[in-house]
Amino acid sequence: MSNDSNTRRRRSTAERIADLQAEIERQKQRVAERERKAARKRELPASIKRIPRLAKSLQEFSALAREDGRQDVANSVSLFLAGLQRVYDEEQAKRTPAAPIAADDERSEPTVELEPRPRAAGSSDDAERRFDERLRSVVKEQSAKEQSAERDR
């Protein structure tokens, strides 16, 4: 009775090393691919990347409109700029890793205090100020509602 079909052959040390090196390469490629995917997720879309350049041009246009006595055009452009700034800030916040929440603050979200962003001297006008004040009041109302809802739980 022969057991030729059941004979096993041990791999040599060189074969085992070659297999392990091949596995290391596969794992390195997987890690590199994950990093590339993560980098693509963090990268801003082209339309968002161009907002700062566009904002600079629009600020110059707004100043020109003010000089020409077209306050209505300057206000419209300024409000549009405020909207663009908020979109840009939101996209930046989505793509930056969030700070870990402390263990005692697991349920509560960090409070956001809206402050008007710094502006160049003389570029702030009444409409922007009113818009920022209204936005702050809406946020305060929402946070008050959330706090009352938490107390009711």
List pLDDT tens digits, range 119-139.
Answer: 555 555 677 777 777 777 777
Say how far apart CA 132 and CA 140 lie, in whole Å: 12
Domain co-membership, 91 together with 54:
yes
**pTM tops 0.85:** no
Contacts of 136 (CB under 8 A, 6+ apart): 114
Whether residue 20 is found in the same domain as residue 91: no
Residues 29 and 59 in one domain: no
Report the distance separating Cα 62 and Cα 58, nearest Å. 6
Q: How confident is the model at residue 21 (pLDDT cuts 50, 70, 90)?
A: very high
For residues 22 and 89, state if they share a domain.
no
Asked if residue 109 belongs to a domain, the reply is no
Range of the domain at 137: 50-95+125-153
> Does residue 55 sit within a domain?
yes
In a domain, 5, yes or no: no
User: How sure is the predictor about 13, in pLDDT bands with cuts at 50, 70 and 90?
Assistant: very high
Share of the chain above pLDDT 90, in %: 33
Q: Is 37 inside any structural domain? A: yes
The number of folded domains in the chain is 2
In a domain, 22, yes or no: yes
Let me know if residue 57 belongs to a domain: yes
Q: Distance between CA atoms of 117 and 115, rounded to whole angstroms?
A: 6
